[in-house]
Amino acid sequence: MSDDIQLKIPALRRGFRFQWEPAQGCHVLLYPEGMIQLNDSAGAILAEIDGVRSVAAIIDDLSVRFPDVPGIDEDILAFLEVAHERFWIELR
């Protein structure tokens, strides 16, 4: 992804729903063909995606919430790149 990714606004793709799944004990991403179980980091990032705020704003918010995580911005960008490649999210 290019440097202007931070200006993009991520949103879940149509047909995908993010939620806490008590039976699984984790956040999941539901889609018509199935379900993706998410680890804590992925859940924290996807919880910030609202289709309104930019990637930069999401990075800022998570950096404040998790100040002791070195390289959090690179981790968030890497996750969003994977999520985009797997068609979980759109970047507008």
pLDDT per residue as tens digits for the range 14-61: 999 999 999 999 999 999 999 999 999 999 999 999 999 999 999 999
Residue range 87-92: mean pLDDT, rounded: 96
pTM of the model: 0.92
- Give the pLDDT score at 15: 97
Structure tokens at 58: 């999401």
Write the CA distances from 54 to 10, 11, 18, integer angstroms. 7, 10, 18
Q: Are 1 and 83 in contact (CB under 8 A)?
A: no
Structure tokens at 9: 């606004």
Band of the pLDDT at 2, cuts 50, 70, 90? low
Residue 1 has pLDDT above 80, yes or no: no
Residue range 80-89: mean pLDDT, rounded: 97
